[in-house]
Amino acid sequence: MPSRVNRYRRLWRHLITDHADLRRVIGDAALDEIEAAVQGGERRHTGEIRVAFEPALAPGAVLRRMTARERALEVFGALRVWDTEANNGVLLYVLLADKAVEIIADRGAARAIAQPVWDEIARDLSKAFAGGTAHQGCLAAVARLDALLADAFALDPRAGAGRNPDELPDRPAVL
């Protein structure tokens, strides 16, 4: 019976978590800072970072036992993170109701950076959300992602700014 109880607790968390909760945890100023961090980092590499926040899943998804990872894969496709020329897009997805963080890397980025590295960044950000330091945790996660992408996909300084198109929006998506 414990799994049924946990299932209903999770459903309740998703029913009561909304965009107002997300705004309390990650406000407009934090979204602006995260956007600026993504923009600044992408000047050093050809990788693309997309950040997405979602307060909760729809009740049907919770009842179907959709995981944060499964939802992150859907969001990865919906936000077209896969659609970069070098296949080096990275999605940083946060599901507030579960305090879950997932990082989905496209093929090129996944080949260049091992999965345990992505998992460590996700765990640290999840701890920041649980500890009430979400804003700082998000900025630290973006900085770590930028550093990894700069090592793997360094921008050739001779290429000039016009050779590094911004393929994905830098503003975090609020779903």
Task: CATH number of the domain at 10, please.
Answer: 3.10.310.50
In the predicted model, is pLDDT for residue 1 greater than 50? no
DSSP-based three-state secondary structure for 142? helix
* Domain, as residue range, for 103: 2-174
Tell me the pLDDT tens digit for each residue of 4-50. 778 899 999 999 999 999 999 999 999 999 999 999 998 889 999 99
In the predicted model, is pLDDT for residue 90 greater than 60? yes
Q: What is the mean pLDDT of the chain?
A: 92
Burial 2-32 (b: 16+ CB within 10 A, else e): eeeeeeeebbebbeebeeeebeebbeeebbe
Give me the number of domains the chain comprises: 1
For strands 173-174 and 48-54, give the pairing. parallel
**pTM for this entry:** 0.93
Check: CB of residue 173 under 8 Å from CB of residue 52.
Answer: yes
* Whole-number Å distance between alpha carbons of 67 and 65: 6
